[in-house]
Amino acid sequence: MTVPKTSVLVLDSAEPESLARFYAELLGAASGPATGDGELFLVTGGSGVVLGVRRDPNHSPPSWPAPEDSQQAHLRILVAADSFDEAEREAVGLGARPLSAEEDGSRLDNRTTLRRFSDPAGHAFVLAAVREEPPAHRVVR
């Protein structure tokens, strides 16, 4: 029998509390410390853990979208197509920085279905339009 478990993407940040708050507000979730030492903060929603943010006092933002560097990893946040522009305004209002296709080395920037950003700590994420409401996250046991 497999032990029940889930996984979470963890981002490093010199200021994990504020980055966790950024994602909590962006995703309509809550954030708080995972342990008493304040080294890991979790962003959680009604469906469970969505994202972790770990304290790294020496963190420096990824150099992507510099053309010579790879993106390595990014968050893809699914948004209903009819809420796409509003989601972009929310992200920018919370401190996200829009990135153009030229900045990330892409040949095509289809702004009708995908918009690229960096979070306040420099991590890459995209808003991706989907035809209907994104499915709820389910923890598989």
Check pLDDT > 80 for residue 10: yes
Higher pLDDT, 135 or 7: 7
pLDDT-derived band at 95, boundaries 50, 70, 90: very high
Q: Residue 105: what pLDDT?
A: 43
Q: Residue 120: what pLDDT?
A: 95
Higher pLDDT, 105 or 59: 59
CATH number of 7-58: 3.40.50, 3.30.720, 3.30.870, 1.25.40? Answer: 3.30.720
Q: What is the pTM of this model?
A: 0.71
Write out the DSSP string of the chain: -PPP-----EEEESSHHHHHHHHHHHHT-EEEESSTTSSEEEEEETTEEEEEEEE-TT-----TTSTTS-----EEEEEEGGGHHHHHHHHHHHT-EEE-HHHHT-S---TTTEEEEE-TTS-EEEEEEESSPPPPP----
Tell me the domain boundaries of the chain: 7-58, 61-135
Task: Taking residues 26-35, report their average pLDDT.
Answer: 90
